[in-house]
């Protein structure tokens, strides 16, 4: 992708959390949640097929914007950190839909997330 492409979407993952119990209605038959991350106002869930990011909107948070990124849409990714005490770790995804930047909170293990993306894109992702 050309260098002049700007980020179309930016998310922040604050910490890994248990998979939300209310994710079921968003899944297709046979789809399995694998890992989840707390975002600023909601959650991001990795399944065995895609990344689902829910973003609560407005003052009450009742309006929810939903992003669904199938792993087959990811063309390339990168991760960046400066070691164990990095406060500015990032994951970037280049997709058919554009460029996505994910800022990672210091409670997020960037190498685990990098491995999760690699397994999802290149191999078979299964829950653990």
Find residue 95's DSSP bridge partners: 74, 98
Joined tokens for residue 80: 């960046």
Q: Strands 7-13 and 98-104, how do they pair?
A: parallel
The average pLDDT across 30-52 equals: 93
Distance, in Å, from the CA atom of 19 to the CA atom of 7, rounded to the nearest integer, reads 27
Using DSSP, state whether 50 is helix, strand or coil: strand
Domains of the chain: 7-17+40-122 (2.30.29.30)
**Is residue 13 a contact partner of residue 104, using CB atoms and an 8 Å limit?**
yes
Average pLDDT over residues 28-45: 93
pLDDT digits (tens, 9 = 90+) for 62-89: 778 888 999 999 999 998 876 655 567 8
């Amino acid at each position: 992708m050309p260098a002049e492409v700007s980020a179309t979407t930016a998310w922040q993952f604050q910490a890994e959390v248990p998979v939300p119990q209310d994710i079921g209605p968003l899944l297709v038959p046979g789809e399995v949640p694998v890992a989840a991350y707390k975002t600023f106002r909601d959650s991001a869930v990795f399944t065995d097929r895609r990344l689902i990011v829910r973003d609560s909107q407005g003052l009450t948070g009742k309006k929810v914007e939903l992003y669904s990124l199938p792993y087959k849409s990811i063309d390339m990714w990168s991760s960046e950190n400066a070691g164990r005490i990095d406060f500015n770790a990032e994951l970037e995804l280049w997709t058919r839909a554009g460029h996505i930047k994910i800022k990672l909170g210091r409670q997020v293990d960037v190498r685990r997330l990098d491995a999760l993306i690699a397994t999802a894109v290149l191999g078979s992702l299964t829950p653990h």
